[in-house]
Structure 1
């Protein structure tokens, strides 16, 4: 195996150790990534925009500091999702409207990542405005699942997940409203975390207290995920919702060996159909906790209002953020985005009042649920990766969905409950496609979530299944 291949297959934590010891340089990593992208990304289309010149310039400036004093990431390259601004780098949001947009300044999260030693070398693909859990758009086309190139990588952080799965990234940035960090992680066999509201600062846009969407880390394993969460976290005056950095690192929490005492498993949260194979794989994974003496019970909080509540609050968010585009650029918007905006513009104050009250009630009931359980486990997605030509999942287990987002209820219910949640690789279907287990903790409980996820990851033994070379569809 070549030295480049050894680097590509190393963990992010191991790479950071080598950067701090001086065994490798940030420029070595950029060279290895550029070669790997040339070898595999043409098959998957995960990273359509590259900025290696910018990354090398930042690397040379960082290398003026002594090794060990270059931040938590120490010169590790990071791709940023194409919804988030990076100064001087094409940022399209997956929309023809912004296909030539080059922002003059970066999001404060990007500035924080760079201040912690991250080098931005690429933008990862996303559906238009992040709408929909299948990564395709009119600017760059679809991103394909490397486990089977005929399948979807999910979304909206699909490009980020595929980059991790194929070895064109060690860590990756994403965002999540209705599962956009968790669904692609599940479909691609990597780990994606939706943190608590405020854990990761970002530049406010359109509404100062928007909180359905959060930014978060993606990685190939739990320890790497925790490392990146440490580098992304912290209070920032430009984001009024941002939380102070904790005194103990998330990486230390992940490595603590602390096990939960009692966990709950639910195949469906009482609100959604689930593919039987996915249910069986996730149930078996959850039951493995019992081998270590953890009590595993079937239970879930009462989230019965999730579909109605999310439909209203998501539509309102689209109206607030995209109504001007509907008025002025309607012909350049995809049908799903138009539908979302129009649904939002039709809302009454009474509907918003009802949805906010529903969310408050679900969050309260979920917090009460966690008085008896340390973690809640569910499928991260209700189906295995579906054919890329399907824009979304129209039905599951005999139930037809009313709209293009209803199939995501198992993840957006957790969004509404204000809980941190991650998708952990937990097994494969009979046809060899990855399945993720959603692991949920109470609000601001990332430390116990990461500890429990690392504990189960060790039991399941699936760590190290990525990166892979993209695979053609089985004949």
Structure 2
């Protein structure tokens, strides 16, 4: 199997081939590294790398397979880790100059669990500074370009992971999601990202342990691979008060339901979200094409009240919890967006916060009533086609100014408020020839049922030209894109490119 054929194979197929001895973990890792080094200069998705350690781990993985040892569910599989998640011995910057030389002494609990499952960490994937915003760019590593056009936005904050997957640099990557940070980059790059229910994947380092606004989740190129990674993420952790599950069995190999048995609801805007008219048209065209496949498919009317204002408060509260000590020590060390969000939260009263939590409860209950008679809900993921990465955020939709820099994330953050599991999956191209993402939302804590339905929908999408997963044109990526690094002030780490504390891309 050629190097490109190897990296384009699904993670599930690679696990099967390695189990049979037809593919070596050493060979697979070498193919991933070669592809990263060839394509990453055009998109700037992978940041710090640990190639030598990964090679040593691949050799050990190969020895264990030859000995017939019992191995984990991700044994020998290369993986990328979002640069908001600490990696022992490997530079973790959070996209912030404050952490330009930060090499953690321990793994984030999620990373530790993936290593125990046998995954081989190859490197970190790019993020916005401190994860704030849905445009992956920062002063340490620069910007990440969209794999379909490197001068356009790849989404965020899990943008580096999404691009690495879309270009087959790595078979699996991690992500996280507050207002859409898994779903938005998945949509803009043509891959799959999943925000699970709050109890499923433990988040042991979350400052507000009782808040479900920020969650960890998997990213992959298809639903089966997503489930493969999700199973290794699931587990009980006593440090997370929302953690209740350690049963990954429902997310194993399953037969998807017949499409004719699915009751599907859909909405263009949840009744409260601004959506570009061109995106509305694309969504209507997609629904017209796929509606006949389902047993039932009908529009839904949502009553989400003051969802925007509610998210403003809940989100700002999380910034206060995360950055209180840093702000007290020296507010000028914080990124401007982080500082502004902290100050917004600090200016709010107890009454504001009580109102927001009561309003979120009302939104949750209204959302569940609306979904009572359907299995899944379909909606757009983003209200606009990808825009230039040099534009920090979508300032207007259909000519109407947006109130805040994150208001263009409303299609995903209203689902965050409801706490229902949701994923983004590829659904062809939009009016501008860029990937169009379909948001698939399940019943409250109905993650397994949602993923079963998503697998059936994915198979249907692949059977239709208009909804098939798009693939990037590698000819457009034949040259480096130096503009992506134009906001970098100086490179982190050494210039080795292969040590455990250095950048894989010269900047």
Instruction: Give the TM-score category using the shorter length.
Output: over 0.9
Q: How does 1:312-323 map to 2 (within 5 A)?
A: 312-323=313-324
8 Å CA contact 1:265, 1:283 repeated in 2: no
Number of residues of Structure 1 aligned to a counterpart in Structure 2: 471
Aligned to 1:256: 256
Tell me what 1:465 maps to. 470
8 Å CA contact 2:427, 2:437 repeated in 1: yes
2:38 is matched with 39
What's 2:494 paired with?
Answer: none
1:305 counterpart residue number: 306
The answer to whether the 8 A contact 1:268-1:274 is kept is yes
**Deviation sequence 1:203-258 (CA, Å, 0-9, x none):** 224333232110101111111111111121121233332232336342424x4334
CA contact (8 A) 1:261 1:374 kept: yes
Match of 2:407 in 1: 406
Q: Residue 86 of structure 2 aligns to a residue in which SS?
A: coil
Q: Do the aligned partners of 1:165 and 1:468 also contact (CA within 8 Å) in 2?
A: no
Counterpart-to-counterpart distance in 2, 1:423 and 1:44: 21
Residue deviations 1:307-353 (CA, integer Å, cap 9, x gap): 01110011010011012223334334332111101001111100000
Residue-by-residue CA offset, 1:422-446 (whole Å, 9 max, x unaligned) = 1111121233201101110122111
Note the C-alpha offset of 1:463.
5.2
Q: Which residue of 2 aligns with 1:178?
A: 179
Compared CA separation, residues 6 and 97, structure 1 to 2 (3 A): same
2-structure distance, mates of 1:421, 1:249 = 17
**CA distance, structure 2, for counterparts of residue 445 and residue 286 of structure 1:** 23
Look up the match of 2:356: 355
Task: Name the residue aligned to 1:95.
Answer: 96
Structure 2 gaps, min length 5: 479-507
Structure 2 Cα separation of the partners of residues 279 and 11 of structure 1: 32
Q: How do 1:68-467 and structure 2 match up within 5 A? A: 69-246=70-247, 248-253=249-254, 255-259=255-259, 261-461=262-462, 462=467, 465-466=470-471
CA offsets per residue over residues 130-183 of structure 1, 9 Å max, x none?
Answer: 100000000000000010111000100000000011111111100000000000
Instruction: Give yes or no for contact 2:236–2:246 (8 Å, CA) kept in 1.
Output: yes
Q: Which secondary structure state, in structure 1, belongs to the residue aligned with residue 53 of structure 2? A: helix
User: C-alpha displacement at 1:471, in angstroms?
Assistant: 2.6
Structure 1 gaps, min length 5 = none
TM-score normalised to structure 2 length: 0.89
The 3-state SS of whatever aligns with 2:145 is coil
Does structure 2 retain, via aligned residues, the 8 Å contact 1:51–1:122? yes
SS in 2 for 1:173: strand
Matched-pair contact (CA < 8 Å) for 2:82–2:158: yes
**Contact 1:13–1:223 (CA under 8 A) maintained in structure 2:** yes
CA distance in 2, matches of 1:468, 1:23: 29
Task: Report if aligned partners of 2:428, 2:468 keep a CA contact under 8 Å in 1.
Answer: no
Residue 468 (structure 1) shift: 4.9
Asked if the contact 1:73/1:117 (under 8 Å) is kept, the reply is yes
1:60 to 2:59 alignment? yes
- C-alpha separation in 1, matches of 2:53 and 2:240: 26
Alpha-carbon distance in structure 1 between the residues aligned to 2:281 and 2:354: 38
Moved more, 244-253 or 183-192: 244-253
Between 424-433 and 146-155, report the one with greater CA deviation: 424-433
Aligned to 2:11: 12
Structure 2 CA distance for partners of 1:248 and 1:468, relative to 1, 3 Å: farther
Partners of 2:69 and 2:367 in 1: CA distance: 42
For residues 29 and 293 of structure 1, the distance between their equivalents in structure 2, rounded to whole angstroms, comes to: 39
Distance 1:199 1:470 in 2: 40
Q: Distance in 2 between matches of 1:468 and 1:19?
A: 29
Worse overlay, 440-449 or 455-464: 455-464
Q: Which residue of 1 aligns with 2:503?
A: none
Q: Deviation per CA, 1:68-102: give whole Å up to 9, x if none.
A: 73211121111110000111111111111111111
Per-residue deviation at 1:381? 0.5
